[in-house]
Chains A and B, each alone.
Chain A
Amino acid sequence: MKLKFSNIIQVLGFMILRLCMICVLLILVVIFYDIITKGIGVVSWEFITKPPVDGMTKGGIYPAIIGTFFITMITAILSVPLGMGCAIFLNEYARDNGLTRFIRMSIRNLSGVPSIVYGLFGVALFVEGCHFGTSILAAGCTLGLMTLPLTITASEEALKTVPRAYREGSLALGATKWQSIWTNVLPYAVPGMLTGTILGLSRAAGETAPILFTGAAFFLPDVPNSVFSQFMALPYHLYIMSTQHHNISLVRPIAYGTALVLIILIFAMNSIAIITRYHLRKKGIAHG
């Protein structure tokens, strides 16, 4: 009798868990279905290679794609080396004391700061403080700062997966700490570090709030010609097409098209992360 009862509990339990999974999947499917069906009609070669025309009621989103590409590059240039370097220092060199624990805690807390706050901070530091003006550089740096906590945390986690035995093994062979890290720790941590970093970048590419005050423009007929130019960006373009445009219902399809392109871009970036990790792992002789 008791056995039967626990069987029922088990069946019921797994059913509930399966239901949770199906719910999540369903939400995802509905979102994708909605965006793809409503967006696919406007997406064409013209759409991704031509600027908007006629008060942004026609034409494409080329400047926004280019703008998003450039700010993501700046974000990468700032946050990848800084984040990885910081993670290596924290995990390999820094002593585990009150100070480093405080620093780690602060970094984790920073990743919880709302992105709009980073936007304000970016205005103060980069737009005004560094005299970058509202520009690709200011927006990219702001996104870079926002991504740093993610990059650092992901890189540190990747470093932690490298067994202690590799470090001890190379040190015991007379390697210096520097040699040990460069030749026998980093090669095995880099796939994980890259994955985390690219995921962080793809999040940055989709952010609106931090670029709102730091350089994103409502409309620009041309693509930016320097890092000090203002720019259009996909998420911001989506935002104005859905809320700020003078004829929102008319441009709804363009908004959906923009959303679709943005999702495809981010999906592509994440795929690159996964493929890179797979290849590096294979090269690293099946580590992790």
Chain B
Amino acid sequence: MGKNIRMKAEGVNFFYGKNQVLKNITLEIHDHAVTAIIGPSGCGKSTFIRLLNRMNELVLNTNLEGDILFDGESIVGDQMDPVELRRKVGMVFQKPNPFPKSIFDNIAYGLQVNGVKDKDLIEKKVIESIKKAALWEEVKNRLHDSALGLSGGQQQRLCIARCLAIEPEVILFDEPCASLDPISTHKVEELILELKKDYTIVIVTHNMQQAARVSDYTGFFYMGEMVEFDKTEVIFTRPRDKRTEDYITGRFG
């Protein structure tokens, strides 16, 4: 594995019951870069990203073949504790999912479940995370108000802050802007570009322009297969596969 590869999928097949949703996916995720996974609905892109922090284990009757590596170590078997993995590989979901707690408590939650008890340290990290998520100016005067009172875009940045607080190494974004308006989307995209300096990022999106704007590498998924993977500029200017070209030119999807 190359030095700048953080995660790698090797020949991954994934099944829901008898239904195969991922077919022989091999993909490398580069360090300190944004890797976008694009494709039409139902192509398996969300399923794939949820394999990277073993979130699919919550779904029953699934079966995984092949291997997924994180820093060269397999994360799919029993030797990897999924809780340990999720502390290093954070996730931001499609629909903002703040807990019905205060803004402060939402972010402190991740620290608390990870055993941080020092109140000063928690406060310091909460504020730091909110600032990193570019939310500070909007919430600094109401940290103890309910997070449910925030707008959708603010809620999503709160979820990003919550994720940053536990200091992951990789952050997975599962269609983070799917339910946001264009202005909020723009803010989240700017944030992703900023976060790239410190984190390795994987983003699933069905919005091609978004992939083009934020990512360094892009993989195109179609019907459970990875049709093409390359540097984003290559995918969007000189796709090799006809299906990729059709998708990015808007002929389907």
Give the B-binding residues of A (Cβ under 8 A): 95-96, 163, 165-176, 179-180, 183-184, 188, 284-287
Contacts and interface: CB of A to CB of B under 8 A. Distances in A.
Contacts of A165: 93, 95, 97
Q: Chain A binding site: helix, strand, loop or mixed by DSSP?
A: helix
6 contacts: A165-B93, A168-B55, A169-B162, A285-B102, A285-B146, A286-B148
B60 interface: yes
Contact of A173 (B58, B90, B100, B148): B90
Contacts of A176: 83, 113
Given A166-B99, A175-B113, A284-B100, A96 B146 contact: no
Given A175-B83, A285-B148, A183 B100 contact: no
A144 B5 CA distance: 59
Contacts of A166: 97, 99
A174 B113 contact: yes
Contacts of B101: 285
Interface of B: 53, 55, 58, 60, 83-84, 86-87, 90-91, 93, 95, 97, 99-102, 109-110, 112-114, 146, 148, 159, 162-163, 166
Contact of A183 (B53, B109, B163): B109
Contact of B97 (A95, A96, A169, A188): A169
Contacts of B87: 173-174
Contacts, number: 72
Residue of B109, B114, B148 with most partner-chain A CB within 10 A: B109
A171 B86 contact: yes
A286 B101 CA distance: 10
Nearest to A177: B83
Residue of B60, B93, B99, B166 with most partner-chain A CB within 10 A: B99
A173 B110 contact: yes
A188 B58 contact: no
A286 B100 CA distance: 8
Given A96-B60, A285-B148, A172 B55 contact: yes
A172 B100 contact: no
B60 A173 contact: no
A173 B109 contact: yes
A172 B86 contact: yes
A287 B110 contact: no
A173 B86 contact: yes
Contacts of A173: 86-87, 90, 109-110, 113-114, 162-163, 166
A166 B100 CA distance: 9
Given A166-B99, A168-B93, A174 B58 contact: no
Contacts of B148: 285-286
Contacts of B166: 173-174
B190 to A, nearest CB: 23
Contacts of A174: 83-84, 86-87, 110, 113-114, 166
Given A173-B113, A175-B83, A286 B90 contact: no
A244 to B, nearest CB: 54
Contacts of B93: 165, 168-169, 172
B39 to A, nearest CB: 22
Given A169-B159, A286-B148, 18 more contacts: A95-B60, A96-B60, A165-B93, A168-B55, A171-B55, A171-B86, A172-B90, A172-B93, A173-B90, A173-B110, A173-B113, A173-B166, A174-B83, A174-B84, A174-B87, A175-B83, A176-B83, A285-B148
A169 B99 contact: yes
Given A184-B99, A287-B100, A172 B53 contact: yes
A166 B95 CA distance: 11
A175 B101 CA distance: 16
A172 B86 CA distance: 6
A48 to B, nearest CB: 42
A254 B102 CA distance: 54
